Structure 1
């Protein structure tokens, strides 16, 4: 995973700087704080936060579901999981199963594209429960695939090495520094 210190990060409080202090009232559970209701729900319920792609190409998030191609039990499980995802989540884009490493991926895998926050909210918890022995790389799609596959990546299960050389060449071809300081 990329060192987060190589990147810049805007303040999480941007746009919330001069608001009155939040109350320090503790809820009846004795552990959590009372939060007053917001005037409106966060836009993140309806669209992904910038710079995440909100279109159908490539879509907001990818889930790469990995399996050991030489392990018959994992091949079977991956095929069954792929079939179940196709049946239960047909609105997602579900790619073919690659039976060997492809692109930056060092294990066999299949990919699922997630297009909306609602789909993300339904599919990711489902995948947490149903991924079985498989590892999953979950990453956003922005204009920086290197950062998406490293610093912005989230793993379900064990992390699998990613060959990032392809992404570095793509950035260099665009005349961007590695890592991008965005």
Structure 2
């Protein structure tokens, strides 16, 4: 993946400065903490956060990897693809993503999956912002470097 030291990161608390401290009281389950009520749910429940696209393309891509020379993996990949097409209904992309990822955790079998956001930085999306299910695989990033260079 990507070396975290190559990037700068905005504080996750940006926009929450000066707020009351959160209570340290444990919830009934004994594991989580009691959180104060909110006036309204976070916008992240209705759309992807900036800079992730909310357009027709969708905010995330999921790439399923399999060895094309392995008959069993190829069969499983084709069956998984058919099941996805049959099972996943049309719904707003952000809702579909929230339902699909847990489904894929259980149903991806022996295959690896790369999950990445779609922003205006393809290389960063496929490295620093990406998440793997299963065994991570090396990626050839040349095309992203070429595309970025051609935009200059």
Structure 2 residue matching 1:33: 3-state secondary structure: coil
Q: Which runs of 5+ in 2 are unaligned?
A: none
Deviation of the 1:34 alpha carbon: 0.9
1:8-47 correspondence runs (5 A): 8-47=8-47
Partners of 1:170 and 1:27 lie apart in 2 by 49
**Equivalent of 1:118 in 91, 95, 99:** 95
- Give the aligned partner of residue 78 of structure 1: 77
Deviation track 1:21-56 (CA, whole Å, cap 9, x = no partner) reads 111212233332111111110100100010000001
- Give the Cα separation in 1 of the matches to 2:31 and 2:117: 33
Shift, 1:90, TM fit:
4.6
Question: Could you list the runs of 4 or more consecutive aligned residues of structure 1 that deviate by over 4 angstroms after TM superposition?
Answer: none
Match of 1:68 in 2: 67
Unaligned runs of 5+ in 1: 93-114, 176-182
- Is 2:36 the counterpart of 1:59? no
Aligned alpha-carbon RMSD (Å)? 1.4
- Aligned residue number for residue 166 of structure 1: 143
Aligned residues: 152
- Scaled by the length of structure 1, the TM-score of the pair is 0.79
Larger deviation, residues 21-30 vs 76-85: 21-30
Query: Structure 1: how far apart are the matches of 2:70 and 2:123?
Result: 29
Q: Please state whether the residue corresponding to 1:148 is helix, strand or coil.
A: helix
